[in-house]
Structure 1
């Protein structure tokens, strides 16, 4: 059972991170002007990300928070659907992992806006819990199959 739960967490994490990364790179205009600045540092992803954080407009961070909410919700749905018991708890655990990854990003790469840092705490836990709650409600109302 712990293997299944671990795989469910990893699947939810993969879905959430994929959605967040797709949303980060969706608006190419945010990154076009940085390409000229970072041309000499090709291949150094960390330097590039630090440049993005320092020069990104407010809209970038708003879109990032929205994508974190969507990713946490859908990742929570995937995790909750794949575990057998305690769906909301495992979805919250996914939110904790995503939050810790975001905190590591904030610690390693400074210069995030303060409102964004606060917003991360407000986003990950409720939205991942919401993903688990969605699956619970769908299964309770027999709108989603319960047999795996």
Structure 2
């Protein structure tokens, strides 16, 4: 049975609340894009204020991500329900942390690059999306998309330097 949670459901279940991106994954249109944008916007002030805390949150998010996404998928009855955006949160955090410089231009570049790779899914992102099951599979394709984004951003940075 396929279920989409309500905000009330999220408030009753902390894992679901995280899995659905503090509610951003409930967006009726483009929940992955909304989740990425929201995840980045809530992370930027933390990252600029205390980078060590931002790194700690990201590493914790990576380690707990498979559990959070897997439990959220089990609850919804869909392997990678579109509203599960914890993977987008952690992936955009990685891209933001690895930017060559912190500026609004690079923040926009990070968002656009990540969304491009997450939507288009070139190999091996598409392979991970299709073949890796459970919460790990939900997380893995977005982490690979984040890595592609970081590589492209740094390549452009070096080309322009």
Could you say which TM-score interval applies, normalised by the shorter chain?
0.3 to 0.5
The higher-RCO structure (CA 8 Å, 6+ apart) is 1
Between structures 1 and 2, the one with greater helix share: 1
Structure with larger Rg: 1
